[in-house]
Chains A and B, each alone.
Chain A
Amino acid sequence: MSTPLLEVEALEVRYHTVPALRGVSLTVGANEAVALLGANGAGKSTLMKSIIGLVRPAAGRILLDGRPLGMLRADRRARLGIGYCPEGRRTFPGLTVRENLAVACWGSAREREHRIAAMFALFPVLGQRAATRAWQLSGGQQQMLAVGRSLMDAPRLLLLDEPSLGLSPRLTDEVLGQIPAIVAGGTSVLLAEQNAAKALAVCTRAVVLKLGQVVASGKAADLAASDEVRAAFLGG
């Protein structure tokens, strides 16, 4: 069995003295989509930020292709092949759609054009608004832009942090519905979501976080059928 793409081992993160993640472990293999589920405050965003390096763990390790990331800065980790789509979209407001995409690509000009065209194929509405400044886009369009931006450097691992935030169900479907295509294109996905049903529908495996700890993990289909997950979100 080959080394998984991403391995998180017994990760502990604290904000001052407050524990946000306690002994969290998970793996993401090549060509798979893993859902990271949990309520608000469960620690999903903290875990994502630790993987990309915006937050330093107090204990534990993160390995990419078997290689520990250690104290590597965020920009170095991004260049190693980790794409990050942050919570709340966070597109660059003063840059146009095309510029938002362009800044994230580190290849040649030709590769850049190629990737931008690919993103426009994935999300056609972006192609229609290529010269619009990001702050003028609607929430859904910004989300698509953020996802597109995180794919521009052809990452091997894509971290998607709550893409459904503030999106209508239909738009959520549009965005999440592209995940299988992304995986087929060679990028593994770790998807953090509150919207459990939609996330489980597009992922093969899932991990459930509660108050900073892993409380369940397994195949997506199994968890979708479980009452536990249902109860965790809607109660009763």
Chain B
Amino acid sequence: MRGWHIRGWRVRGWHIRRWQTPFARVGVGLPLAVIAIVVAAFGLSHASDYALRVLSVAGIYALLALGYGFIFGQAGALSLAQGTFMGVGAYVSGILAVRYGIGFDAALPASVGLPVVLALLVAIPVLRLQTHYFALATLLIGQIILLVVTQWESVTGGANGIGGVPPLSLLGHVIEGRLPALLLVWALVAAGGLLAWQITRGRLGDAFAVLRTHPVVARAVGIDTGLLRLTAFLLSAAYAGLAGSLYVHAIGVLSPDILGFPVMVTCLTIAVVGSRLRVTGAIAGAVLIIELPEWARFLRDDYLLAFGCILLLVVVALPGGLIEAAEWLLGRVWVAPPVAPRPPLVPLPAAVSMCRSPASDSMLLEVSGLSVRFGGVHALDAVSIRVRAGEVLGLIGPNGSGKTTLVNAVTGIYPPGAGRVVLAGREIAGNTPHAIARLGVARTFQAAALVPEMSALDNVAVARGAADVGLGRALLVGLRDSGRRRARAEAMALLERMGAAQHAAAPAGTLPPGIARLVEIARALASAPRLLLLDEPAAGLNGTEQADLARRLRSIADGGVGLLVIEHNMQFLVPLADRMACLDYGKLIAAGTPAEVQADPRVIEAYLGAPAVPT
């Protein structure tokens, strides 16, 4: 079993660099936490009531920001409803406490549950909208709730709110005193932070990375992007509800201010300043931002003005946030010697299972009369092709003739206007891309779409068993994460199969295009497809590499997988393909053996054309 080493290559862009040192893996979190605990141990007993209250509020905002990290950080969607969810949780808990005497803990199912239900109702129509519409939708929901609450005086106390909210209570015991309340809040922050870390550190975190960087690729690999975004949104609402219910009991007063935009701004500032992708960032950011007006007295009245300036400065100058900047800084100072990773616990399988149905020579893909239109233009016009299991079909044609459109239509990115697409006897036209991917269709893209910050190995591993990745499994993942280790081991085998194993640890953004393409093919193989669609796999490879790739593709086909290969490079394609088809202007103009197609006069005219008449 081969080991693999982290090499010390120099790249531009600090966001790639941070993956290189073990310090960066540990992160800034652990040292910060140690410092915080030491400071707290000495300082808390002497702190004033007021200071303790501010620190409690900081903890509450840390919870809010932790939740926000799921939707804004992991899923990459700018939601402006986080403050609203917190407010809803506050109102539910406050009203239940004041009017019905239900304590903080007994009310939790409602104060956390109602924001989640609200998020669910809202998410279904709204999450799939593009950024500028999604932001507006979440903004409007916030406005609606704020107005409803201020109108509904009988229940919510209207614009004046409700006073006399009892303090936190646990199992019937009221928690008197600021210090115990503070400890409860921060215990919940610690629990929430650990949960967030647990959810995102494993393969679910990798799936999110693909989702926010290349959503099309995520679907092509079988990740259910809609479900993932929904999960992130619901988690953010749950954390916000908890934060809200803590807040109202800690402060003792329920007021519509909690539903106002300043809360959302504070949350956004914390997330941006503290690094939206880091658990440490949410916590450290919250402490920094909430404590700031206390340290700089003159800011007290104009703290929002300060937040605005800080937000602007950080967005422009430090886009990753403070924690990522700190990691980079420490990474530069502390460069570790190369480290050989521990070998995986699971022994490498002799041959990673590649195909699902060993039946050869059966009709795998049948496309009949497929048409795709964009406006008035026929990108594909009644195209019919067939691919058998174990066969390589080469698809050629001038640029713009519809080759990539055909692959996009087969993989579900474009709904076909007319015609049928049948995979192993099953009609798949009109299915969603991730459903088609899970039926055994895999593809590569014209521009290798790998996640630049993730290693080549992880890019492939994320596709291995993408259907299994979900919240439930993420929660159960042990410290050793055997699922990920197995996925990585299998990914390694796939990389070896494609001849790219020596680049496994390199961040994908640094790979030369030829190697990136090989990694992409390995990723496509990771989902054990029956049908593999390759878009210009040989581009950027020299002669030797091309011959090598052709050999590997041949062996994949021999294993029972059907291949459709789009290529311009005849030297590469002709020896490899069993049959060829040529598109021109969206129409199929020739099909048959490579020799037949190459000699077809229509093909020659389409590609080379008769020479232009010189004047």
Contacts and interface: CB of A to CB of B under 8 A. Distances in A.
Given A166-B399, A202-B614, A234-B608, A18 B11 contact: no
Interface in A70-96: none
A189 interface: no
Nearest to B615: A180
A167 B612 CA distance: 14
Contacts of B376: 136
Contacts, number: 99
Given A16-B11, A18-B512, A165-B399, A198 B612 contact: yes
A65 interface: no
Classify chain B: how many residues form its interface, as a range.
35 or more
B401 A169 contact: no
Contacts of B400: 139, 165-167
B539 A40 contact: yes
Contacts of A18: 511-513
Interface of A: 16-18, 39-41, 135-136, 138-139, 162, 164-169, 172-173, 176-177, 180-181, 194-198, 200-202, 211, 231, 233-236
20 contacts: A16-B510, A17-B9, A17-B510, A18-B512, A39-B568, A40-B536, A136-B375, A162-B399, A165-B399, A172-B609, A172-B612, A176-B612, A177-B612, A194-B568, A195-B608, A196-B608, A197-B611, A202-B612, A235-B571, A236-B598
B48 interface: no
Contacts of A235: 569-571, 574
A202 B610 CA distance: 13
A180 B614 contact: yes
A219 to B, nearest CB: 14
A71 to B, nearest CB: 18
Contacts of A166: 398-401
Contacts of A197: 608-611
Nearest to A211: B542
Given A17-B510, A165-B398, A165-B400, A236 B570 contact: yes
Given A169-B605, A234-B570, A177 B510 contact: no
Contact of A16 (B12, B375, B607, B613): B12
B358 interface: no
Contacts of A17: 9, 11-12, 510, 512
B540 A41 contact: yes
Contact of A173 (B9, B607, B613): B613
A221 to B, nearest CB: 11
Contact of A201 (B377, B513, B612): B612
B508 to A, nearest CB: 11
B585 interface: yes
B606 interface: yes
Contact of A177 (B375, B511, B615): B615
A136 B375 CA distance: 9
A211 B569 CA distance: 13
B22 interface: no
B419 interface: no
B569 A173 contact: no
A181 B615 contact: yes
Contacts of B511: 18
B609 A173 contact: yes
Nearest to B584: A168
Nearest to A172: B609
A32 to B, nearest CB: 14
Interface string B219-230: 000000000000
Contacts of A169: 605-606, 609-610
A234 B613 CA distance: 21
Contacts of B584: 168
Determine which residue in A180, A200, A233 has the highest number of CB atoms from chain B within 10 A of its CB, and name it: A233
B612 A168 contact: no
List the 7 closest pairs (A to B, CB-CB), nearest first. A166-B400, A235-B570, A169-B609, A235-B571, A41-B539, A201-B611, A165-B399
Nearest to A166: B400
